[in-house]
Amino acid sequence: MPDIKELYLTNGLRLITIKKDSQIMALNLGFRVGSMMDPPKQKGMTHVLEHMLFTGTTRRSHDAINEEFEFLGGDVNAFTDLTQLILSVSALSGEMEAALDLVSDLVQNTDLTQSELDRERSVILSEYKEGLEDLETISYDLLYARAWPEEPLRYDVIGDEASIAAVTLADLKRHRLQYLTPDQATLVLASHEPHEVMQERVRRYFESWPARGVQSFYFHDSPNHTGEWETPTDSSEMATVTLLYHFPDLDPAQETALKVLNRRLGDSDNSLLFREIRLKRGLSYDIYSGLDLTPHVRTLEVYCATEPENVQMVLQIILNIIADLKAGRIPLTEKDLQLSQKMHRTHIAALLDDTPALCSYVAANALDDRALLHYEEELREMENLSVDELRQVAQLVFSTPTISLLIPQHDEEEADSFA
């Protein structure tokens, strides 16, 4: 079991240190803010702020930040999702001091300027337009626009062209002051150093950071729209079938059973969907199901890319398999449970061997208010699962789906707009 200690600095910053025998140090600084907290009509605000953190501080220019991060000789990354913004660094252990200095400067001494916003906005718009060329991205954007015609989950984290253009410098500064505060942040630091050494170094760089005392919030939970929609497209020769099941009221204690069920459905190369649609019938190369258990999201999605003439057949196969799972006509066996336990233990072993991955895992759990080593709970629950519990979860989750079909159009067809 990892050697983990936790404390709060005087400004409210939650500090978690992981003492691990490794030549690598890893740092994750996360905030409880994501696209679900973006202002209406300014979706993508948090993602823009993530980009802007690297454009300059009162101590360092944009070029100096890039050069110093590169000189660490490791990996530097940042990402925004629906509920979190995280900065991460991994490098040789001797670079800890430099990494802490750099990251603390980015969040405490941010210098947001109009010229950098104009430049970075162009970069983000290019990122957005690249996504419009990806069939999978288009399909998921369309699926969520159908499921949530209004807030909170209509838009992807990056927003769209109009919302990105609507982000102003003044709004960006307010967003930073509201959300990028130590009392809404968690810092996870992993290295071979004693906990006391890591704690002292973090205090040196972060304890003078003033707290704001403003708590974050989420948009209200909103039920998804169910039904089936077809949308013509002229951007692809392939069609896609996507389904979404939303389960906001599922008991968290049933999440482990749902993970096992999802693996059996479509999250492995031996899954029901993969075997029937790809291996047996040859209808698709890309077929899978995925889970998002983020608080205030909680969805299961199915995605399949196929030839246009096969769309209805693929959809019916997916619906039939889910109906059979729900009705108990497809057996869920003890072997399924044993395999899931093996896969989970393998995942844990790989996680514990990988310092940056462990650091990221702990940070994400901390920000989601889960146990830091949540896998231990999952393993205990998995060992006690019964086949009957899997069937019960199938009954709860697989109710009425949102279904979106993206179908190539001929020139004379008029595209349906979902904007």
**53-67: per-residue pLDDT in tens?**
999 999 999 999 999
Alpha-carbon gap, residue 286 to 309, rounded angstroms: 16
pLDDT at position 418 = 46
339 in the same domain as 239: yes
pLDDT at position 417 = 45
pLDDT at position 411 = 57
260 in the same domain as 152: no
CATH, residue 291? 3.30.830.10
- Closest by CA to 2, choosing from 282, 361, 263, 290, is 361
Q: Is residue 417 part of a domain?
A: no
298 in the same domain as 170: no
Residue 226 sits at the vertex; the CA angle it makes with 223 and 227, to the nearest 5 degrees, is: 165
172 in the same domain as 319: no
83 in the same domain as 26: yes
231 in the same domain as 371: yes
358 in the same domain as 313: yes
Residue 75 CB neighbours (<10 A): 13
141 in the same domain as 268: no
388 in the same domain as 239: yes
Alpha-carbon gap, residue 297 to 381, rounded angstroms: 22
Beta-carbon contacts of 43 under 8 Å, excluding residues fewer than 6 positions away, are 35, 155, 159, 160, 163
pLDDT at position 238 = 94
pLDDT at position 230 = 95
Task: Read off the DSSP letter of residue 110.
Answer: B
Alpha-carbon gap, residue 147 to 403, rounded angstroms: 8
246 in the same domain as 198: no
Q: What is the pLDDT of residues 80-117, one digit of tens each?
A: 999 999 999 999 999 999 999 999 999 999 999 999 99
Q: Is residue 248 part of a domain?
A: yes
8 A C-beta contact, residue 261 and residue 332: yes
Please give the residue range of the domain that contains residue 403: 227-408
Query: How much is the pTM?
Result: 0.90
393 in the same domain as 251: yes
Positions of the chain with pLDDT lower than 70, given as ranges: 213-221, 410-419
AA letter at 14: R
Among candidate residues 149, 172, 206, the one where a domain is terminated? 206
Q: Is residue 418 part of a domain?
A: no
Among candidate residues 206, 238, 253, the one where a domain is terminated? 206
Q: Domain tally for the chain?
A: 2
Q: Is residue 266 part of a domain?
A: yes
Q: Is residue 416 part of a domain?
A: no
Give the E-state strand segments of 211-286 in sequence order. 227-233, 239-246
130 in the same domain as 248: no
